[in-house]
A = this chain, B = another copy of it.
Amino acid sequence: MRRGKVLMERFESAVLTGNPARDPSVRTVPVYLPPSYESSPDRRYPVVFVLAGFTGRGRMLLNDNPWSPALDDRMDGLIAAGCDEMILVLPDCFTRFGGSQYLDSSATGRYETHLVEELVPWADARFRTLPGRDHRGIAGKSSGGYGALTLGMKHPDIFGAVACHSGDMYFDYCYRGDVPRFCAQIQQAGGLERWLERFESKRQKSHDDLLTLNVLGMAAAYSPDPGRPPFGIDLPCDLETGAFREDVWARWLSCDPLAMLDARVEALRSMRRLYFDCGVKDEFNLQHGARLLHRRLDALGVPHEYEEFDDGHMNISYRYDVSLPRLGKALAG
């Protein structure tokens, strides 16, 4: 099998310099170049930005696993089986809160801007990409699927195809149920700052730790509040009384793809390909949101492809076998 090549690129981000969460502004951005890249020096390729899920970053998509190929090996295999050759760019938008949801937030930094205004032009300049949104796609799983779908909605001039696997949506079902436990965890730790310190110092993160980080990460993305100590984040609960905060929740909901949809219908309609799927046993209940999105798009007459598969939320990178060839076909020159 002919193999592509992975470059571990070092990217110094101006946009992320001095970011409020004090995360690094220099990031490692792995880039997959397809098998013919070196031997065909005049050829240009479509490019797909692949976004990691929560607590992930690009390099993690290359992690080796005994029974599931890393993304580079997977791509080699797909290409060998007939998939169009593509460049894959694997951004790092990780933060100390576990992720950024790939959007601009006063609490974490301008990750959407970093991606769209820095990485996209950089990739075009540095690699032989086919220029233009018609040859540029975006894909991801979980929070990466959220990023792919919403960046497609917001930047149809930049991205011409979207693949979203088990993406965060219908926040009432995928996040809200975790708020009470989040609240208890933070209260027990004696506040956000102490909780985060402890979390960072723990060798083994428990299920409750990661659940709590997840809510915190979402709050950092969806309800930042520059005036609120210690982290400039409004929480969906009142730490003193424990009560749910409907006002903060309303801010979260405005970031829900289902809520964003009406204002972004034409963006999605313009996609050369819009693919999304979800497992019917998704532990975060995301299949409900995916079905609602599917139903809404049908009603709106927006072309798309929707699949369900018999699995949960974890260890489903094999779903890229379904989406990447479709993106390849849609974005090919």
Contact = CB atoms under 8 A, between A and B. Distances in A.
B67 A280 contact: no
A273 to B, nearest CB: 25
Nearest to A172: B244
A172 B244 CA distance: 8
A80 to B, nearest CB: 16
Interface string A273-304: 00000001100010110011001000000000
B315 A203 contact: yes
A241 B64 CA distance: 38
Interface string A44-75: 00000000000111011011111100000000
Chain B CB within 10 Å, residue with most, of A55, A62, A63, A281: A63
Contacts of A315: 203-204
A183 interface: yes
Contacts of A67: 200, 205
A312 B184 CA distance: 12
A243 interface: yes
Interface stretch (A119-127, A174-182, A190-198): A174-182
A174 B244 CA distance: 12
B288 A183 contact: yes
Contact of A287 (B66, B94, B173, B184): B184
* Cβ-closest 10 pairs across A and B: A177-B177, A180-B285, A242-B288, A173-B180, A63-B63, A59-B64, A60-B64, A55-B66, A172-B244, A242-B291
